[in-house]
Amino acid sequence: MQWEIVIGLETHAQLNTQSKIFSGAATAYGAAPNSQACAVDIALPGVLPVFNRVAAEKAVKFGLAIGARINRKSVFERKNYFYPDLPKGYQTTQLELPIVAEGGTLQIQVGDREKTIRITRAHLEEDAGKSLHEDFHGMTGIDLNRAGTPLVEIVTEPDLRSSAEAVAYAKKLHSLVRWIGICDGNMQEGSFRCDANVSVRPMGTETLGTRCEIKNLNSFKFMEKAIEYEVRRQIEILEDGGRIVQETRLYDPDRDETRSMRSKEEANDYRYFPDPDLLPLVVDEAFLDQARATMPELPQAMRERFMRDQGLPAYDAGILTTSRELAGYFEDTVKALGGEAKIATNWIMGDLSAQLNKEGLEITNAPISAGQLAGLLKRIVDGTISGKIAKEVFTAMWAGEGDADTIIEAKGLKQVSDSGAIEKIVDEIVAANPAQVAEYRSGKEKVFGFFVGLAMKASKGKANPAQLNEILKKKLAG
């Protein structure tokens, strides 16, 4: 039997506010345990929450970025459950009326296909604390620094059909929340983490299968592997005549498997009810206008502009708009270069990105600035150096040896464009290789590359390639 995979994702993006969603405690990562939890966060009797307006601004910006409807009135509810790191015994969240309602979408690219993923909703809520199991022998410690940290939970429709699509969506969403400046996206610190609801059904049927939720996936690699394992597990159970139990599961990367965590609760298990301590959240037109005014140009619009104004192919424009910082680097390079977008694209997506990946650096940490790269590219464009020599100069720039002009001058790397000098090299090579000359003149044109290689070697890579080819063809023709 052929099976269809059905996946929906719930993503918790931590909003990068200075203080928590219902208190003035700081949200900075890495502080000593319980040093950033105030009376509200640890639920002392008699304290009342005060809503952080900045959290609403950031959630609204997300809704605008995905084209969703913003609810003018949303409500906070209490989601009741017991967990040691949830001192109130309930989480303040939004259920019936989230701040970001339906209508939002994200376009993803998987291979040659584009696909639209519908986003059901995005709601504000507070994070819980953290249980520390490894630091105490035989006991569990509780760190409430994270309790009350503002989150926006982003929920998709079950539109994803493979682990590749799920990862493409998660990467696109990760890029977007960083692009609009509402979340730092740091997955190692838990600022961006996903839950994957996975089920399978016979191909061609409409009824959804029983889903299992894989919690807290904080890397794209783990997401892909967890979903693939879970799909295999469910198909094997069904083909053996068993049934899937709805439950919450955890992914164990050491064993590359998912394992049961707890039975899956339904909404009524949580006994949601409106929080009596918080008024409804009202978003008026002035608030919306303010959020719109602070929105940057969005990735899709910038991608289309790069294609339209810079003449870039869709693939290149898509790569360059995967992050706002990379797009900015590209624009700064082209501006400093005075145009020539294609050569800038090739170098940024080629040598620069390869070196960044090799050293695990972000574009913001590149040792070669956009202006410096433009300086190198200018010397290729004006014929001072060849593309091959440019790679040597790039390596020296990366090592901190100076700008392109300084390195070219110091190392004597200027391209040889003197026709007489190139002709002398060619004459010597032709005279020293009569057998190969005879082969070429008998029709074996592949030998031409042999002569080019010898000539470039003799000129230490500095011969002007176009001039060299022209002179070599003339000499070999006899």
How high does pLDDT run on average in the chain? 93
Percent of the chain scoring above 90 in pLDDT: 75
The residue with greater pLDDT, 106 or 261, is 106
User: Measured between alpha carbons, how far is residue 116 from residues 52, 106, 153, 172 in Å?
Assistant: 33, 6, 19, 12
Query: Tokens 């503002």 identify what position?
Result: 150
**Dist. CA 348–CA 404, nearest whole Å:** 16
Name the token pair of 106: 């994200």
Give the tens place of pLDDT for each residue, 278-324. Answer: 999 999 999 999 999 999 999 999 999 999 999 999 889 999 999 99
Annotated domain spans of the chain: 3-286, 297-411, 419-477
Residue 348 has what DSSP assignment? I
| Rg, the chain, Cα only | 30
CATH number of 419-477: 1.10.10.410
In this structure, how many other beta carbons lie within 10 angstroms of the beta carbon of residue 213? 20
Q: Read off φ and ψ for residue 386, nearest 5 degrees.
A: -85, 170
Dihedral sign computed on CA atoms, order 162, 165, 170, 173: negative
> Which pLDDT does position 468 carry in this prediction?
86
With a CB cutoff of 8 Å and minimum separation 6, the contacts of 219 are 187
Give the helix ranges, DSSP H, for 106-209.
163-179
With a CB cutoff of 8 Å and minimum separation 6, the contacts of 290 are 57
With a CB cutoff of 8 Å and minimum separation 6, the contacts of 313 are 307
Classified as helix, coil or strand, 147 is coil
pLDDT band for 134, please (50, 70, 90 cuts).
confident
Q: Is the pLDDT of residue 236 over 70?
A: yes
Residue 180 has what DSSP assignment? T
**Dist. CA 8–CA 378, nearest whole Å:** 48
**Dist. CA 46–CA 40, nearest whole Å:** 9
**Dist. CA 246–CA 302, nearest whole Å:** 42
Classified as helix, coil or strand, 216 is strand
Residue 97 has what DSSP assignment? S
- Looking only at the bridges linking them, the beta strands covering 212-217 and 247-252 are parallel
Q: What is the pTM of this model?
A: 0.84
Q: Is the pLDDT of residue 121 over 80?
A: yes
The candidate with the shortest Cα–Cα distance to 363, out of 313, 302, 320, 414, is 320
Give the tens place of pLDDT for each residue, 356-396. Answer: 999 999 999 999 999 999 999 999 998 888 888 899 999 99
- Looking only at the bridges linking them, the beta strands covering 273-274 and 247-252 are unpaired
pLDDT band for 265, please (50, 70, 90 cuts).
low
Q: Is the pLDDT of residue 406 over 90?
A: yes
- The answer to whether the beta carbons of residues 226 and 258 sit under 8 Å apart is yes
Dihedral sign computed on CA atoms, order 158, 163, 168, 172: positive
> Which pLDDT does position 267 carry in this prediction?
64
The residue with greater pLDDT, 437 or 197, is 197
